[in-house]
Structure 1
Amino acid sequence: MSNDQRPTNFKIYQSGRELAPEELAMQYATTHGVEILDSEIEVVRDDNIRINLSQYAAPLFDEDGKVRGCVSIFLDITQRNQAEKKLQAARDQLQTVLEAVPGIVFWVSSDLCYLGVNKHLADSFNLPPEAFVGQDIGFLASGNGFREFVQKFFAGDESEALYELKSIKADRSYLIVAQKYDQNRAAFLIGIDITEQKRVENELRQKTEELAKINRVKDEFVAVLSHELRTPMHNLHGWAQLLLTESEMDEALKIEGLETIERNARLQVRLIDDLLDLARMQKGEMNLEIGLVDLASVIRSAADTIRLSAETKGIEIQLHLDAAVSNVLGDAIRLQQVVWNLLSNAIKFSSKNESVEVRLEEVESQAQITVIDRGRGIEAEFIPFVFERFSQRDASTTRSAGGLGLGLAIALTIVELHNGNITAASAGFGKGSTFTVRLPIVTMTGQLSNDEIVPGEAVHGNKKIAQLQNLCILVVDDDADARMLMQTVLQSTGADVLVAASVKEALALLEQRSPALVISDINMPDEDGFTLIRQVRSRTIKKGGQIPAIALTAFAGAKNEQRILKAGFQLFITKPIEPMELVDKIIEVLKT
Structure 2
Amino acid sequence: MKAGGNADGSRPLGPAAALFTSYFLLAVLGLQWGTVRGAASPVFPAAGVALAGLLLGGLRLWPAVFAGTMAAFLLEAPPLPLWVKAALASGNTLAALGGAWALRRARLRPALTRLADVLVVCAAALGSSAIAATAGTFALAGAFDQGFRQALVTWLNWWVGDVTGVIVMTPLVLSWARGEPVGRDRGRWLHLALCTAAAWALARLSFGPESSRIVRPWLIFPALTWAALTWGVRGATAAMLPVAVVAIQATTEGHGPFGTPAGLQFALLQEFIGATTVTTLVLAVVADERRNSEALRRNEERLRRASRAGRIGLWEFNIDSGAAAWTPEAWALFEGCCPGSGRVDYARWLETIHPEDRAAVVRTVDQAIEQARSRLSEAHYKDEYRVLHADGTVLWVASTGAFERAGNELVMLGVVRDITERKHAEEALRENEARLRLALRAGQTGVWDWDVVTGRVVWSDEVCGIFGIPPGTFEGTLEAFERRIYPDDRMRVRAEAQTAIKGRTSYAIEFRVVRPDGQIRWVTDFGTVERDEAGQPRSMIGMVTDITEKRAAADAIRESEERFRNIADNSPVMIWVTGPDACCAYLNKVWSDFTGQAQAAGLGFGWLDTLHPEDAERSASVFRAATARREPFRLDYRLRRHDGQYRWCIDAAVPRFSPSGEFLGYVGSVIDITDRKQAEEERARLLEVEQAARSEAERANRLKDEFLSTVSHELRTPLTAILGWSHLLRRRSSCEDEDLRKGLAVIDRNARAQAQLIEDLLDMGRITSGKLRLDVQPLDLHDVVGAAVSSIAPSAEAKAIQLEKISSPAVGVTRGDPSRLQQVVWNLLSNSIKFTPEGGSVQVKVSRAGNHVEITVSDTGEGIEPEFLPYVFERFRQADASTTRRHGGLGLGLAIVKHLVELHGGTVRATSAGVGKGTTFTVELPLGVAHAPAEGGTDGREVDARASVDDICELSDLSGISVLFVDDALDTRDMVRTFVEERKARVRLAGSGEEALRLIELERPDVLVSDIGMRGMDGYELIRRVRALPRERGGDVPAVALTAYAGNEDRTRALLAGFQTHLAKPIQPTELLMAIGVLAARGERKGRPQAVDGGPRLP
2:347 equivalent among 88, 91, 115:
115
> How far apart, CA to CA, are the structure 1 residues paired with 2:1064 and 2:920?
33
- Mapped contact 1:292–1:453 kept (Cα < 8 A): no
Residues 1:549 and 2:1035 are matched in the alignment: no
1:490 equivalent among 980, 992, 997:
980
Indicate the residue corresponding to 2:907 in structure 1: 421
- Mapped contact 1:104–1:118 kept (Cα < 8 A): no
> How far apart, CA to CA, are the structure 2 residues paired with 1:127 and 1:330?
71
Indicate the residue corresponding to 2:787 in structure 1: 301
> How far apart, CA to CA, are the structure 2 residues paired with 1:405 and 1:493?
41
Indicate the residue corresponding to 2:1029 in structure 1: 539
Alignment of 1:295-444 (within 5 A): 295-442=781-928
Alignment of 1:93-112 (within 5 A): 100-101=314-315, 104=318, 106-107=322-323
1:471 equivalent among 961, 964, 986:
961
- Mapped contact 2:776–2:817 kept (Cα < 8 A): yes
Aligned residue identity for 2:1042? L
1:174 equivalent among 406, 423, 428:
406
- Mapped contact 1:326–1:441 kept (Cα < 8 A): no
Indicate the residue corresponding to 1:3 in structure 2: none
Decide which moves more: 356-365 or 454-463.
454-463
Q: 1:322 to 1:460 in 2, by over 3 A?
A: farther
Alpha-carbon distance, 1:129 to partner: 5.4
Alpha-carbon distance, 1:192 to partner: 5.9
Unpaired runs of 5+ residues, structure 1, are 1-92, 120-125, 134-139, 142-169, 178-188, 194-224, 445-451
Q: Which has the higher helix share?
A: 2
Q: 1:543 to 1:552 in 2, by over 3 A?
A: same
Aligned residue identity for 1:417? L
Structure 2 SS opposite 1:115: helix
Alpha-carbon distance, 1:118 to partner: 7.9
Same amino acid, percent of matched pairs: 41
> How far apart, CA to CA, are the structure 2 residues paired with 1:314 and 1:401?
17
Indicate the residue corresponding to 1:565 in structure 2: 1055
Q: 1:482 to 1:400 in 2, by over 3 A?
A: same
> How far apart, CA to CA, are the structure 2 residues paired with 1:319 and 1:248?
33
Unpaired runs of 5+ residues, structure 2, are 1-307, 325-343, 352-357, 366-371, 374-401, 415-710, 931-941, 1083-1089, 1091-1099
Q: Which has the higher strand share?
A: 1
- Mapped contact 2:403–2:411 kept (Cα < 8 A): no
Alpha-carbon distance, 1:508 to partner: 2.2
- Mapped contact 1:280–1:557 kept (Cα < 8 A): no
Encode CA deviations 1:332-357: one digit per residue, 9 max, x unaligned: 11111100000011111112211011
> How far apart, CA to CA, are the structure 1 residues paired with 2:760 and 2:992?
32
> How far apart, CA to CA, are the structure 2 residues paired with 1:263 and 1:309?
8
Aligned residue identity for 2:315? V
Alpha-carbon distance, 1:253 to partner: 0.9
> How far apart, CA to CA, are the structure 1 residues paired with 2:1051 and 2:735?
44
Encode CA deviations 1:382-430: one digit per residue, 9 max, x unaligned: 2222111112112111212211111111111111222222111112222
> How far apart, CA to CA, are the structure 2 residues paired with 1:478 and 1:550?
16
- Mapped contact 1:116–1:130 kept (Cα < 8 A): no
Aligned residue identity for 1:546? D
Q: Which has the higher contact order (CA 8 A, sep 6+)?
A: 2
- Mapped contact 2:403–2:413 kept (Cα < 8 A): no
Q: 1:132 to 1:421 in 2, by over 3 A?
A: closer
2:738 equivalent among 248, 252, 274:
252
Alpha-carbon distance, 1:435 to partner: 0.7
> How far apart, CA to CA, are the structure 2 residues paired with 1:291 and 1:306?
24
Q: 1:473 to 1:453 in 2, by over 3 A?
A: closer
Q: 1:462 to 1:549 in 2, by over 3 A?
A: closer
Decide which moves more: 404-413 or 376-385.
376-385
Aligned residue identity for 1:262? D
Structure 2 SS opposite 1:356: strand
> How far apart, CA to CA, are the structure 1 residues paired with 2:744 and 2:1057?
38
> How far apart, CA to CA, are the structure 1 residues paired with 2:825 and 2:1009?
32
> How far apart, CA to CA, are the structure 2 residues paired with 1:516 and 1:417?
41
TM score, norm. by length of structure 1? 0.59
Alpha-carbon distance, 1:453 to partner: 14
> How far apart, CA to CA, are the structure 2 residues paired with 1:504 and 1:354?
56
Q: 1:261 to 1:329 in 2, by over 3 A?
A: same
Q: 1:131 to 1:576 in 2, by over 3 A?
A: closer
Alpha-carbon distance, 1:288 to partner: 2.2
Alpha-carbon distance, 1:493 to partner: 2.4
TM score, norm. by length of structure 2? 0.33
Aligned residue identity for 2:777? G
Encode CA deviations 1:130-162: one digit per residue, 9 max, x unaligned: 6899xxxxxx99xxxxxxxxxxxxxxxxxxxxx
Structure 2 SS opposite 1:101: strand
Q: 1:130 to 1:324 in 2, by over 3 A?
A: closer
What is the RMSD of the two structures over their aligned residues, measured on CA atoms?
Answer: 4.3
Encode CA deviations 1:4-43: one digit per residue, 9 max, x unaligned: xxxxxxxxxxxxxxxxxxxxxxxxxxxxxxxxxxxxxxxx
Structure 2 SS opposite 1:380: coil
